[in-house]
Amino acid sequence: MKNSPPKTDSLPLRLAEARVRRVVFSATPAAEASSARPEEAWASDCHAQREMLFVLEGRSRFLYRDRVWNLAPGTLVAIDAWEVHAFGYHAEDDGLLHLWLGLHPPRMTCALLQVERGRYRSAAHLNPLAGSAFDFLSRQWDEAMAEDRAPALRSALLAGVAETAMHAAALGEGQRRTPADAANGLVDFIADFIARQHGRDCSLSRIERVTGYSRVYLAHLCRQARGKTIGEAITEARRRFVEEAMAQGLKQRTISEALGFSSPSAFCLWKRRQGRPIPQRLQSPRSLLPETMAAKKPLPSTTGSSCPS
């Protein structure tokens, strides 16, 4: 039986009651995972931001650190900066409800995705966590990843970060929201979506399908909210990712794959069309927001072709 979209009035309670039963992270024994099946073609991703995937409903397989893990309700995958993991979903992924939590300073984003036959859409536009809530969660994540801690303790601490974030999100969703809040939340979701995917697979048609709103309305709303187009926000997100990836030492081929270009030459052409060198410091892709809101192989390789800036 397929999962139905969570009712708005029941979502806060569901988030507040959610409990982590299993944690997959860098210190989880590889014996608990498996190799990719011959018929599986995994698109992969890596980026500077930490994020967590929490399974609310459904069972699936997930690529993380060159291994494939079986996910079930209650499973948490804690993905550290630049760790390779799956991008998108497979056609056999059906009846899934996944909560993605991402540390995108100065806030933690919360995206609840419903997946049917490999196609995903937003099940609810959750308020991001900012201010003291973000500061606390970020510090707790740092504490959990300290190398001198035993794996069992690190696992428990990571579970605590996720559960605290879900409780905070539940409190935010439990508040009454005006139509203006809903509109701001939609712009918020789009900006977070673009930032989380660093502009990859973020066409207007994709955003239209994920949000359930017409592309004309979305384009107008985002332009009105911040005075720039969705396309401009995507370009900023891509440029920021290139800056971060080059600082990390990734090569052109790896960067082009992470951005979803068909080839390194297509990536080089995009760079030349930017009209100016990619600077060391960029404006955050979250600048789309008003002040009150802002199948490939895995990617660890650092060898590949290069192209002129």
What pLDDT, on the 0 to 100 scale, is given for residue 41?
A: 86
How far apart are the C-alpha atoms of 196 and 194, rounded to whole Å? 6
Q: What is the dihedral of CA 48, 120, 78, 76, to 10 degrees?
A: 170
What pLDDT, on the 0 to 100 scale, is given for residue 286?
A: 45
**Residues 79 and 118: beta-carbon distance below 8 Å:** no
Nearest to 45 by CA among 232, 259, 188, 309: 259
How far apart are the C-alpha atoms of 149 and 193, rounded to whole Å? 33
What pLDDT, on the 0 to 100 scale, is given for residue 267?
A: 87
Look at the chain and count its residues: 309
pLDDT, tens digit, 9 for 90 and up, residues 80-121: 999 999 999 999 999 999 999 999 888 898 999 999 999 999
What pLDDT, on the 0 to 100 scale, is given for residue 3?
A: 56
Give me the residue spans of the domains in the chain.
Answer: 11-175, 178-309
Is the pLDDT at 187 greater than 90? The verdict is no
Q: Picking from 68-77, 154-163, 249-258, which range would have the lowest pLDDT averaged per residue?
A: 249-258
What pLDDT, on the 0 to 100 scale, is given for residue 126?
A: 83
Half-sphere exposure of 71 (CA within 13 A, CB side): 31
**Residues 307 and 252: beta-carbon distance below 8 Å:** yes
Q: Picking from 16-20, 84-88, 256-260, 293-297, which range would have the lowest pLDDT averaged per residue?
A: 293-297
* Residue range 238-254: mean pLDDT, rounded: 89
Selected residue with higher pLDDT from 64 and 274? 64
What pLDDT, on the 0 to 100 scale, is given for residue 6?
A: 59
What pLDDT, on the 0 to 100 scale, is given for residue 265?
A: 87
Nearest to 209 by CA among 118, 102, 127: 118
What pLDDT, on the 0 to 100 scale, is given for residue 130?
A: 85
Is the pLDDT at 150 greater than 90? The verdict is yes
**Phi, psi of 230, deg, nearest 5:** -65, -40
**Averaged pLDDT of the chain:** 83
Is the pLDDT at 303 greater than 60? The verdict is no
What pLDDT, on the 0 to 100 scale, is given for residue 276?
A: 62
* Residue range 257-286: mean pLDDT, rounded: 72
C-alpha of 122 from chain center? 12
Is the pLDDT at 4 greater than 80? The verdict is no
What pLDDT, on the 0 to 100 scale, is given for residue 258?
A: 86
Region of 65 (left: φ > 0; alpha: ψ -120 to 50; beta: rest) is left
**Domain 178-309 belongs to what architecture?**
Orthogonal Bundle (1.10)
Selected residue with higher pLDDT from 261 and 57? 57
